[in-house]
Amino acid sequence: MSAANQTWNLLPAEYAIPATAPSLQDAQAYCERLARTHYENFSVATWFLPKRLRQHFFNVYSKPATATYLCNF
Position 26 pLDDT exceeds 80: yes
C-alpha angle 60-49-25 in degrees, rounded to nearest 5 = 50
pLDDT at 73 over 70: no
pLDDT tens for each residue of 34-60? 888 876 666 677 778 899 998 998 888
CA 32, 28, 40: angle at the middle one, nearest 5? 10
Mean pLDDT of 14-24: 82
Q: If you average pLDDT over residues 5-28, what whole number do you get?
A: 80
Q: Is the pLDDT of residue 5 over 80?
A: no
Higher pLDDT, 69 or 23: 23
> In this structure, what DSSP letter does residue 20 have?
S
